[in-house]
Amino acid sequence: MKVGIVGVGFMGTAHAEAWAATDAELVGFAAETTDAAGSLASLYGKQIFSDLDAMLPHVDVVDICTPTHLHYDMVLQAAAAGKHVICEKPLARTVAHSRLMVDACREAGVRLLVGHVVRFFPQYAAARQAVVDGQIGKPGVLRLTRCSYRPKKPVGNWFLDEARSGGILMDLMIHDYDYARWVAGDVEAVFARKIASAHPDASVDYALAILTHKNGAISHIAGGWAYPPPTFRTALEIAGDAGLIQFDSQETAPIQNFIAKSGAADSPDVAIPSSPVSESPYTTQIKEFYAALQSGSPARVSPEDGLAAVQIAQAAIYSDESGTAVRPDQFVELQS
């Protein structure tokens, strides 16, 4: 299986390292300029392509690690050429584009795998499995936090251009929208608020989204570009009617489950150690995607999962703008 990576920033670098841990053949890289691709191509001894069109005849799989607003055209181009696609999150900037991408890959008979990497972090995967196994009963409240520093680029900071990235409510928080849905199921309403620095050199962006799931669970999701570099913190709390799961990246302790014991109110709490982080979650993700492409088996993230995450993100953006709660399905009808 021959793979080409488009985009050579942080994500392209992480994906290249991940592919190197598989038996796939990493053919080369394409970037905005051939100079940009030079360092990674030299590191791995691979080819530099002038653009995606030049790469397509040489690969079976296109791994798209470019800025969000470029995903739509590139996925459609790869699908039309009959190539399988791995696409970083968010799948696209809009719901309408995301839906067309899913449809195009299905009609072309190629796989579309979306890089929602939080599903592959061992702590998050272990917490979700504990819920699936019924260890905390029926989940009722999820609290998810993802806070770091404001992204900085030497030239053309597309992260801060909401027309291209969707801003904090999409680019950062989509990780936790997807995770909340993976744990608690489909979302029927979204209410969101954000505060953002008016000056480009300021460093405070913060947002809160409340998701109401169709099964009655509530997810409270906080996202921030408000810390000084290099601080990055994530946390989760999942409360069920029989116990509580907590994880905080600032703590060194393993993931903790506080589970009520029937008939033993004073029995000790149970801690389920998280899996040791023996490899990057990006590598775990790419290994699973590679196996799915080889065998035709389902992957942990489906195209529909990628679409649903964009629906929630778009609903959050519209909720912040309108000051109202928004149903993701209603939002799709209004916007596409």
Q: DSSP states of 257-322 as a string?
A: EEEPPTT-TTSPPEE-PPPP--S-HHHHHHHHHHHHHHH-PPPSS-HHHHHHHHHHHHHHHHHHHH
Rounded Cα distance between 296 and 93, Å, is 28
SS3 138: coil
Rounded Cα distance between 224 and 161, Å, is 16
pLDDT at 259: 64
CATH class for domain 119-278+311-322? Answer: alpha beta
Q: What is the pTM of this model?
A: 0.91
| H helices present in 195-251, as ranges | none
Phi/psi at 294 (nearest 5 deg)?
Answer: -70, -40
Residues facing 97 on adjacent strands: none
Q: Each residue of 240-269: pLDDT tens digit?
A: 999 999 999 988 555 666 666 554 444 444
Is residue 173 within 8 A of residue 223, CB to CB? The reply is yes
pLDDT at 164: 86
DSSP structure class, residue 58: G
What is the C-alpha R_g of the chain? 20
Residues facing 144 on adjacent strands: 221, 236
CATH class for domain 2-118+283-300? Answer: alpha beta
Q: Each residue of 32-46: pLDDT tens digit?
A: 888 889 999 999 999
Q: Taking the domains of the chain in order of start, what are their residue ranges?
A: 2-118+283-300, 119-278+311-322
* Residues constituting the chain: 336
User: How do 139-148 and 233-240 pair as beta strands?
Assistant: antiparallel
Rounded Cα distance between 53 and 6, Å, is 11
Question: For residue 97, how many other CB atoms are within 10 A of its CB?
Answer: 21
Rounded Cα distance between 171 and 150, Å, is 12
Rounded Cα distance between 99 and 92, Å, is 9
Structure tokens that stand for 323 in this block? 């000051």
DSSP 163-207: HHH--IIIIITHHHHHHHHHHH--EEEEEEEEEE-SSTT---EEE
Q: Digits of tens for pLDDT over the chain (336 positions)?
A: 999 999 999 999 999 999 999 999 999 999 988 888 999 999 999 999 999 999 999 999 999 999 999 999 999 999 999 999 999 999 999 999 999 999 999 999 999 999 999 999 999 999 999 999 999 999 999 999 999 988 776 456 777 778 888 899 999 999 999 999 999 999 999 999 999 776 656 667 899 999 999 999 999 999 998 888 888 999 999 999 999 999 999 885 556 666 665 544 444 444 555 555 578 999 999 999 999 999 999 999 999 999 999 999 999 999 999 999 999 987 554 444
Is residue 71 within 8 A of residue 88, CB to CB? The reply is yes
DSSP structure class, residue 150: P
Structure tokens that stand for 247 in this block? 């994880």
